[in-house]
Structure 1
Protein backbone atom coordinates (compact mmCIF):
# COMPACT_ATOMS: atom_id res chain seq x y z
CA UNK A 1 0.00 0.00 0.00
CA UNK A 2 1.41 3.42 -0.95
CA UNK A 3 1.99 6.11 1.64
CA UNK A 4 -0.89 8.17 0.20
CA UNK A 5 -3.34 5.32 0.53
CA UNK A 6 -2.23 4.71 4.14
CA UNK A 7 -2.93 8.35 5.03
CA UNK A 8 -6.33 8.19 3.33
CA UNK A 9 -7.26 5.12 5.40
CA UNK A 10 -6.16 6.87 8.62
CA UNK A 11 -8.30 9.90 7.76
CA UNK A 12 -11.38 7.72 7.11
CA UNK A 13 -10.92 5.85 10.43
CA UNK A 14 -10.54 9.11 12.36
CA UNK A 15 -13.63 10.57 10.66
CA UNK A 16 -15.76 7.57 11.59
CA UNK A 17 -14.49 7.69 15.19
CA UNK A 18 -15.36 11.37 15.36
CA UNK A 19 -18.91 10.79 14.12
CA UNK A 20 -19.43 8.00 16.68
CA UNK A 21 -18.04 10.17 19.49
CA UNK A 22 -20.28 13.11 18.62
CA UNK A 23 -23.46 11.11 17.92
CA UNK A 24 -26.31 12.19 20.30
CA UNK A 25 -26.84 9.70 23.12
CA UNK A 26 -29.56 9.07 25.64
CA UNK A 27 -28.92 8.04 29.25
CA UNK A 28 -28.59 4.34 29.85
CA UNK A 29 -31.96 2.76 30.51
CA UNK A 30 -33.03 -0.56 31.88
CA UNK A 31 -34.07 -3.20 29.36
CA UNK A 32 -37.69 -2.75 28.33
CA UNK A 33 -37.74 0.88 29.46
CA UNK A 34 -37.93 3.93 27.19
CA UNK A 35 -35.50 6.88 27.71
CA UNK A 36 -38.22 8.90 29.42
CA UNK A 37 -38.61 6.14 32.01
CA UNK A 38 -41.83 4.83 30.49
CA UNK A 39 -42.10 1.23 29.45
CA UNK A 40 -41.04 0.70 25.86
CA UNK A 41 -43.57 -2.11 25.59
CA UNK A 42 -46.94 -0.41 25.25
CA UNK A 43 -49.80 -2.35 26.76
CA UNK A 44 -53.37 -1.96 25.61
CA UNK A 45 -55.57 -0.06 28.08
CA UNK A 46 -57.61 -2.29 30.35
CA UNK A 47 -61.12 -2.76 29.06
CA UNK A 48 -63.87 -1.17 31.11
CA UNK A 49 -65.35 -4.10 33.03
CA UNK A 50 -68.37 -2.07 34.13
CA UNK A 51 -69.27 -1.34 30.50
CA UNK A 52 -68.76 -5.01 29.56
CA UNK A 53 -70.99 -6.13 32.44
CA UNK A 54 -73.71 -3.75 31.29
CA UNK A 55 -73.41 -5.02 27.74
CA UNK A 56 -73.52 -8.68 28.81
CA UNK A 57 -76.58 -8.08 31.06
CA UNK A 58 -76.17 -11.40 32.88
CA UNK A 59 -78.80 -12.65 35.30
CA UNK A 60 -77.82 -12.24 38.97
CA UNK A 61 -75.85 -15.00 40.66
CA UNK A 62 -78.08 -16.95 43.07
CA UNK A 63 -77.28 -16.71 46.76
CA UNK A 64 -78.45 -19.01 49.49
CA UNK A 65 -76.95 -21.19 52.19
CA UNK A 66 -75.29 -24.57 52.20
CA UNK A 67 -74.57 -26.00 48.79
CA UNK A 68 -72.15 -28.78 47.81
CA UNK A 69 -69.66 -29.32 50.67
CA UNK A 70 -66.55 -29.12 48.40
CA UNK A 71 -67.62 -25.66 47.24
CA UNK A 72 -68.49 -24.09 50.58
CA UNK A 73 -66.08 -21.27 51.29
CA UNK A 74 -64.69 -21.17 47.74
CA UNK A 75 -64.65 -17.47 46.82
CA UNK A 76 -65.51 -16.49 43.25
CA UNK A 77 -66.44 -13.31 41.41
CA UNK A 78 -69.97 -13.00 40.05
CA UNK A 79 -69.43 -11.93 36.44
CA UNK A 80 -72.76 -10.10 36.36
CA UNK A 81 -71.98 -7.51 39.02
CA UNK A 82 -68.33 -8.07 39.96
CA UNK A 83 -69.22 -8.90 43.56
CA UNK A 84 -67.59 -11.62 45.64
CA UNK A 85 -69.58 -14.81 46.10
CA UNK A 86 -69.28 -18.08 47.98
CA UNK A 87 -69.60 -20.73 45.25
CA UNK A 88 -71.35 -23.09 47.66
CA UNK A 89 -74.10 -20.55 48.28
CA UNK A 90 -74.57 -20.08 44.52
CA UNK A 91 -75.69 -23.73 44.32
CA UNK A 92 -77.91 -24.17 47.38
CA UNK A 93 -80.23 -26.78 45.88
CA UNK A 94 -80.73 -28.76 42.69
CA UNK A 95 -78.81 -27.08 39.89
CA UNK A 96 -76.57 -27.58 36.88
CA UNK A 97 -73.07 -26.13 37.02
CA UNK A 98 -71.15 -25.79 33.77
CA UNK A 99 -67.43 -25.10 33.29
CA UNK A 100 -66.37 -23.28 30.11
CA UNK A 101 -63.60 -21.20 28.56
CA UNK A 102 -63.57 -18.54 25.85
CA UNK A 103 -61.22 -20.58 23.63
CA UNK A 104 -63.45 -23.69 23.79
CA UNK A 105 -65.64 -23.80 20.66
CA UNK A 106 -67.96 -26.63 21.83
CA UNK A 107 -68.53 -24.59 24.99
CA UNK A 108 -70.11 -21.80 22.97
CA UNK A 109 -72.79 -24.03 21.46
CA UNK A 110 -73.42 -25.66 24.83
CA UNK A 111 -73.82 -22.27 26.53
CA UNK A 112 -76.56 -21.37 24.04
CA UNK A 113 -78.34 -24.66 24.75
CA UNK A 114 -78.08 -24.18 28.52
CA UNK A 115 -79.38 -20.63 28.23
CA UNK A 116 -82.38 -21.81 26.20
CA UNK A 117 -83.08 -24.55 28.77
CA UNK A 118 -82.82 -22.10 31.68
CA UNK A 119 -85.66 -20.00 30.22
CA UNK A 120 -88.10 -22.91 30.28
CA UNK A 121 -90.77 -23.08 33.02
CA UNK A 122 -89.63 -25.34 35.84
CA UNK A 123 -85.97 -25.43 34.73
CA UNK A 124 -83.44 -26.07 37.48
CA UNK A 125 -81.00 -23.18 37.99
CA UNK A 126 -77.97 -23.19 35.69
CA UNK A 127 -74.76 -21.51 36.85
CA UNK A 128 -71.67 -21.35 34.66
CA UNK A 129 -68.05 -21.04 35.77
CA UNK A 130 -65.55 -19.32 33.48
CA UNK A 131 -62.09 -20.93 33.62
CA UNK A 132 -58.71 -20.49 31.90
CA UNK A 133 -59.85 -17.15 30.48
CA UNK A 134 -59.83 -13.45 31.29
CA UNK A 135 -62.89 -11.94 32.95
CA UNK A 136 -63.26 -9.29 30.24
CA UNK A 137 -63.01 -11.90 27.47
CA UNK A 138 -65.73 -13.96 29.11
CA UNK A 139 -68.10 -11.02 29.41
CA UNK A 140 -67.44 -10.03 25.82
CA UNK A 141 -68.16 -13.53 24.51
CA UNK A 142 -71.35 -13.96 26.57
CA UNK A 143 -72.63 -10.64 25.20
CA UNK A 144 -71.79 -11.76 21.65
CA UNK A 145 -73.57 -15.10 22.15
CA UNK A 146 -76.60 -13.47 23.79
CA UNK A 147 -76.21 -15.84 26.77
CA UNK A 148 -77.46 -14.32 30.04
CA UNK A 149 -76.80 -17.21 32.42
CA UNK A 150 -75.55 -16.40 35.93
CA UNK A 151 -71.79 -16.82 35.71
CA UNK A 152 -68.93 -17.06 38.17
CA UNK A 153 -65.23 -16.49 37.64
CA UNK A 154 -62.21 -17.65 39.62
CA UNK A 155 -58.80 -16.62 38.32
CA UNK A 156 -56.89 -19.24 40.36
CA UNK A 157 -59.33 -21.90 39.09
CA UNK A 158 -60.43 -22.55 42.67
CA UNK A 159 -63.77 -24.15 41.78
CA UNK A 160 -62.33 -26.85 39.53
CA UNK A 161 -59.61 -27.58 42.08
CA UNK A 162 -62.19 -27.93 44.86
CA UNK A 163 -64.29 -30.33 42.79
CA UNK A 164 -61.31 -32.19 41.31
CA UNK A 165 -62.62 -32.03 37.77
CA UNK A 166 -61.09 -33.94 34.85
CA UNK A 167 -58.98 -31.85 32.44
CA UNK A 168 -61.57 -31.34 29.71
CA UNK A 169 -64.05 -28.71 28.57
CA UNK A 170 -66.91 -28.24 28.39
CA UNK A 171 -67.81 -29.98 31.61
CA UNK A 172 -71.07 -30.08 33.56
CA UNK A 173 -72.18 -31.35 36.96
CA UNK A 174 -75.68 -31.94 38.27
CA UNK A 175 -76.02 -30.74 41.86
CA UNK A 176 -78.42 -32.86 43.88
CA UNK A 177 -80.79 -31.53 46.54
CA UNK A 178 -78.47 -33.13 49.11
CA UNK A 179 -75.45 -31.18 47.78
CA UNK A 180 -74.01 -34.11 45.83
CA UNK A 181 -72.14 -33.47 42.57
CA UNK A 182 -72.63 -35.85 39.64
CA UNK A 183 -70.49 -35.36 36.54
CA UNK A 184 -72.40 -35.39 33.26
CA UNK A 185 -70.65 -37.95 31.05
CA UNK A 186 -73.41 -38.98 28.66
CA UNK A 187 -73.45 -36.91 26.60
CA UNK A 188 -70.08 -35.20 27.06
CA UNK A 189 -71.41 -32.06 25.32
CA UNK A 190 -75.04 -31.03 25.73
CA UNK A 191 -76.35 -30.21 22.27
CA UNK A 192 -80.10 -29.87 22.86
CA UNK A 193 -82.54 -28.68 25.49
CA UNK A 194 -83.99 -32.21 25.58
CA UNK A 195 -80.61 -33.60 26.62
CA UNK A 196 -80.37 -31.06 29.43
CA UNK A 197 -83.81 -32.07 30.68
CA UNK A 198 -82.74 -35.73 30.71
CA UNK A 199 -79.50 -35.18 32.65
CA UNK A 200 -81.06 -32.99 35.34
CA UNK A 201 -83.93 -35.48 35.77
Structure 2
Protein backbone atom coordinates (compact mmCIF):
# COMPACT_ATOMS: atom_id res chain seq x y z
CA UNK A 1 0.00 0.00 0.00
CA UNK A 2 1.26 3.44 -0.93
CA UNK A 3 2.00 6.13 1.65
CA UNK A 4 -0.87 8.27 0.34
CA UNK A 5 -3.34 5.42 0.71
CA UNK A 6 -2.20 4.74 4.30
CA UNK A 7 -2.69 8.40 5.24
CA UNK A 8 -6.17 8.34 3.66
CA UNK A 9 -7.16 5.36 5.85
CA UNK A 10 -5.84 7.10 8.97
CA UNK A 11 -7.84 10.23 8.16
CA UNK A 12 -11.02 8.21 7.67
CA UNK A 13 -10.50 6.45 11.01
CA UNK A 14 -10.06 9.77 12.81
CA UNK A 15 -13.26 11.17 11.28
CA UNK A 16 -15.22 8.07 12.34
CA UNK A 17 -13.91 8.31 15.90
CA UNK A 18 -14.89 11.97 16.10
CA UNK A 19 -18.46 11.21 14.94
CA UNK A 20 -18.84 8.49 17.59
CA UNK A 21 -17.49 10.79 20.30
CA UNK A 22 -19.92 13.65 19.65
CA UNK A 23 -23.05 11.55 18.88
CA UNK A 24 -25.74 12.18 21.67
CA UNK A 25 -26.45 9.27 24.01
CA UNK A 26 -29.52 8.49 26.16
CA UNK A 27 -31.60 11.50 25.06
CA UNK A 28 -34.92 11.12 23.25
CA UNK A 29 -35.85 13.71 20.65
CA UNK A 30 -39.42 14.03 21.96
CA UNK A 31 -41.63 12.84 24.81
CA UNK A 32 -43.36 9.51 24.29
CA UNK A 33 -47.09 10.19 24.10
CA UNK A 34 -49.47 7.42 23.18
CA UNK A 35 -52.25 7.84 20.67
CA UNK A 36 -55.94 6.95 20.95
CA UNK A 37 -58.60 8.64 23.02
CA UNK A 38 -56.44 8.94 26.12
CA UNK A 39 -53.05 10.52 26.58
CA UNK A 40 -50.19 8.80 28.39
CA UNK A 41 -48.85 10.34 31.55
CA UNK A 42 -46.09 12.47 29.99
CA UNK A 43 -45.27 15.47 32.20
CA UNK A 44 -43.47 18.62 31.11
CA UNK A 45 -40.69 20.05 33.28
CA UNK A 46 -41.71 21.22 36.75
CA UNK A 47 -41.49 24.81 37.87
CA UNK A 48 -42.79 26.77 40.85
CA UNK A 49 -44.98 29.77 39.99
CA UNK A 50 -44.99 32.88 42.14
CA UNK A 51 -47.78 33.31 44.66
CA UNK A 52 -48.67 36.61 42.98
CA UNK A 53 -49.20 35.04 39.56
CA UNK A 54 -51.23 32.21 41.07
CA UNK A 55 -53.40 34.67 42.95
CA UNK A 56 -54.14 36.65 39.81
CA UNK A 57 -55.04 33.53 37.86
CA UNK A 58 -57.24 32.20 40.66
CA UNK A 59 -59.15 35.46 40.75
CA UNK A 60 -59.60 35.44 36.98
CA UNK A 61 -60.67 31.77 36.89
CA UNK A 62 -63.35 32.20 39.57
CA UNK A 63 -63.47 28.48 40.32
CA UNK A 64 -66.07 27.03 42.64
CA UNK A 65 -64.83 26.34 46.16
CA UNK A 66 -63.74 22.80 46.91
CA UNK A 67 -66.26 20.72 48.89
CA UNK A 68 -65.95 20.96 52.67
CA UNK A 69 -66.48 18.02 55.05
CA UNK A 70 -69.98 17.61 56.41
CA UNK A 71 -69.27 14.28 58.10
CA UNK A 72 -66.25 12.20 59.06
CA UNK A 73 -64.72 10.11 56.30
CA UNK A 74 -66.28 6.63 56.28
CA UNK A 75 -64.07 3.75 57.34
CA UNK A 76 -62.46 2.18 54.30
CA UNK A 77 -62.95 5.19 52.03
CA UNK A 78 -60.63 4.97 49.02
CA UNK A 79 -59.33 8.54 49.44
CA UNK A 80 -58.53 8.25 53.15
CA UNK A 81 -55.31 10.01 54.14
CA UNK A 82 -55.02 12.18 51.01
CA UNK A 83 -54.88 15.94 51.57
CA UNK A 84 -54.31 18.22 48.57
CA UNK A 85 -54.39 21.92 47.72
CA UNK A 86 -57.61 23.37 46.32
CA UNK A 87 -56.87 25.03 42.97
CA UNK A 88 -59.41 27.78 43.66
CA UNK A 89 -57.65 29.24 46.70
CA UNK A 90 -54.74 27.02 47.82
CA UNK A 91 -56.54 25.74 50.93
CA UNK A 92 -55.96 22.16 52.09
CA UNK A 93 -58.65 19.59 51.30
CA UNK A 94 -59.06 16.25 53.10
CA UNK A 95 -60.50 14.42 50.11
CA UNK A 96 -62.14 11.48 51.86
CA UNK A 97 -63.94 13.78 54.29
CA UNK A 98 -64.77 16.36 51.64
CA UNK A 99 -66.75 13.94 49.46
CA UNK A 100 -68.18 11.78 52.25
CA UNK A 101 -71.89 11.13 52.23
CA UNK A 102 -72.55 12.12 48.61
CA UNK A 103 -72.10 10.37 45.24
CA UNK A 104 -68.99 11.82 43.62
CA UNK A 105 -67.44 11.96 40.17
CA UNK A 106 -63.67 12.50 40.36
CA UNK A 107 -62.11 13.52 37.04
CA UNK A 108 -58.33 13.25 36.49
CA UNK A 109 -56.95 15.60 33.85
CA UNK A 110 -53.92 17.72 32.92
CA UNK A 111 -53.46 20.98 31.06
CA UNK A 112 -51.54 19.32 28.20
CA UNK A 113 -54.16 16.59 27.60
CA UNK A 114 -56.16 17.24 24.40
CA UNK A 115 -59.05 14.83 25.18
CA UNK A 116 -59.36 16.50 28.60
CA UNK A 117 -59.87 19.87 26.89
CA UNK A 118 -62.81 18.42 24.94
CA UNK A 119 -64.31 16.70 28.00
CA UNK A 120 -64.12 19.40 30.68
CA UNK A 121 -66.92 21.62 29.27
CA UNK A 122 -69.21 18.56 29.25
CA UNK A 123 -68.36 17.98 32.91
CA UNK A 124 -69.25 21.60 33.64
CA UNK A 125 -72.59 21.18 31.87
CA UNK A 126 -73.30 17.99 33.81
CA UNK A 127 -72.36 19.59 37.14
CA UNK A 128 -74.69 22.53 36.42
CA UNK A 129 -77.49 20.06 35.69
CA UNK A 130 -76.78 17.82 38.69
CA UNK A 131 -76.68 20.63 41.25
CA UNK A 132 -76.26 19.28 44.78
CA UNK A 133 -77.07 15.66 43.91
CA UNK A 134 -73.54 14.73 42.79
CA UNK A 135 -70.10 16.08 43.70
CA UNK A 136 -67.99 16.78 40.61
CA UNK A 137 -64.34 17.24 41.57
CA UNK A 138 -61.47 17.66 39.12
CA UNK A 139 -57.94 16.52 39.93
CA UNK A 140 -55.16 18.26 38.00
CA UNK A 141 -52.60 15.49 37.59
CA UNK A 142 -49.55 17.63 36.83
CA UNK A 143 -47.39 19.89 39.00
CA UNK A 144 -47.92 23.02 36.84
CA UNK A 145 -50.89 24.64 38.56
CA UNK A 146 -50.44 27.93 36.72
CA UNK A 147 -51.03 26.29 33.36
CA UNK A 148 -54.01 24.42 34.80
CA UNK A 149 -55.67 27.69 35.78
CA UNK A 150 -54.91 29.19 32.37
CA UNK A 151 -56.56 26.24 30.63
CA UNK A 152 -59.65 26.38 32.86
CA UNK A 153 -60.01 30.07 32.03
CA UNK A 154 -59.73 29.24 28.32
CA UNK A 155 -62.37 26.49 28.62
CA UNK A 156 -64.75 28.62 30.79
CA UNK A 157 -64.77 25.77 33.30
CA UNK A 158 -65.35 26.69 36.95
CA UNK A 159 -65.52 23.25 38.54
CA UNK A 160 -63.94 22.74 41.95
CA UNK A 161 -60.57 21.04 41.69
CA UNK A 162 -57.47 19.97 43.56
CA UNK A 163 -53.81 19.90 42.58
CA UNK A 164 -52.16 16.45 42.48
CA UNK A 165 -48.80 16.53 40.73
CA UNK A 166 -47.68 13.34 42.49
CA UNK A 167 -50.58 11.17 41.30
CA UNK A 168 -51.81 10.26 44.79
CA UNK A 169 -55.46 10.16 43.76
CA UNK A 170 -54.80 7.96 40.73
CA UNK A 171 -52.96 5.41 42.86
CA UNK A 172 -55.55 5.45 45.65
CA UNK A 173 -58.44 4.94 43.25
CA UNK A 174 -56.71 2.29 41.15
CA UNK A 175 -56.93 4.33 37.95
CA UNK A 176 -54.64 3.55 34.99
CA UNK A 177 -51.84 6.00 34.04
CA UNK A 178 -53.79 7.62 31.21
CA UNK A 179 -55.82 10.82 30.95
CA UNK A 180 -58.60 11.66 31.19
CA UNK A 181 -60.04 9.24 33.74
CA UNK A 182 -63.32 9.59 35.61
CA UNK A 183 -63.89 7.64 38.81
CA UNK A 184 -67.36 7.26 40.32
CA UNK A 185 -67.36 7.05 44.11
CA UNK A 186 -70.26 5.93 46.30
CA UNK A 187 -71.38 7.95 49.35
CA UNK A 188 -69.52 5.46 51.57
CA UNK A 189 -66.23 6.38 49.87
CA UNK A 190 -65.78 3.15 47.91
CA UNK A 191 -65.12 3.08 44.17
CA UNK A 192 -68.12 2.18 42.03
CA UNK A 193 -66.46 2.41 38.61
CA UNK A 194 -63.25 3.57 36.91
CA UNK A 195 -63.86 4.97 33.43
CA UNK A 196 -60.58 5.61 31.54
CA UNK A 197 -62.10 7.40 28.57
CA UNK A 198 -63.27 10.91 27.70
CA UNK A 199 -66.98 11.68 27.84
CA UNK A 200 -68.41 13.17 24.65
CA UNK A 201 -71.47 14.86 26.18
CA UNK A 202 -73.20 15.70 29.45
CA UNK A 203 -75.78 13.03 28.59
CA UNK A 204 -73.04 10.37 28.56
CA UNK A 205 -71.95 11.47 32.01
CA UNK A 206 -75.52 11.41 33.28
CA UNK A 207 -75.96 7.89 31.91
CA UNK A 208 -72.81 6.70 33.72
CA UNK A 209 -73.84 8.21 37.06
CA UNK A 210 -77.29 6.66 36.71
CA UNK A 211 -75.84 3.24 35.90
CA UNK A 212 -73.07 3.06 38.49
CA UNK A 213 -74.23 5.42 41.25
CA UNK A 214 -78.00 5.16 40.89
CA UNK A 215 -78.34 8.94 40.57
CA UNK A 216 -80.62 10.24 37.82
CA UNK A 217 -80.10 13.87 36.78
Q: TM-score, normalised by structure 1?
A: 0.72
Match of 1:137 in 2: 147
Give a deviation string over 1:113-146, Cα, whole Å, max 9, x none.
Answer: 0001111155512000000240111111101110
Larger radius of gyration: 1
Structure 1 residue 168 corresponds to structure 2 residue 178: yes
Structure 1 residue 77 corresponds to structure 2 residue 75: no
Match of 2:73 in 1: 66
Match of 1:156 in 2: 166
With over 3 angstroms needed to count, the CA separation of the structure-2 counterparts of 1:107 and 1:121, relative to structure 1, is: closer
With over 3 angstroms needed to count, the CA separation of the structure-2 counterparts of 1:144 and 1:72, relative to structure 1, is: same
Residue aligned with 1:172, SS: strand
Give a deviation string over 1:161-188, Cα, whole Å, max 9, x none.
Answer: 2223211110001111222213343x82
Work out the number of aligned pairs and report it.
Answer: 158
Match of 1:99 in 2: 108
CA contact (8 A) 2:87 2:145 kept: yes
Match of 2:33 in 1: none
CA contact (8 A) 2:107 2:183 kept: yes
Distance 2:109 2:95 in 1: 16
Distance 1:90 1:165 in 2: 20
Alignment gaps of 5+ in structure 2: 1-46, 211-217
Match of 1:125 in 2: 135
CA contact (8 A) 1:61 1:78 kept: yes
Structure 1 residue 191 corresponds to structure 2 residue 200: yes
4+ residue segments displaced more than 6 Å? none
With over 3 angstroms needed to count, the CA separation of the structure-2 counterparts of 1:184 and 1:164, relative to structure 1, is: closer
Structure 1 residue 113 corresponds to structure 2 residue 122: yes
Distance 1:78 1:44 in 2: 16
Structure 1 residue 57 corresponds to structure 2 residue 62: yes
Residue aligned with 1:199, SS: helix
Give a deviation string over 1:72-100, Cα, whole Å, max 9, x none.
Answer: 22010000011111111222120110000
* Root-mean-square deviation over aligned CA pairs: 2.1
Distance 2:111 2:187 in 1: 30
Match of 1:146 in 2: 156
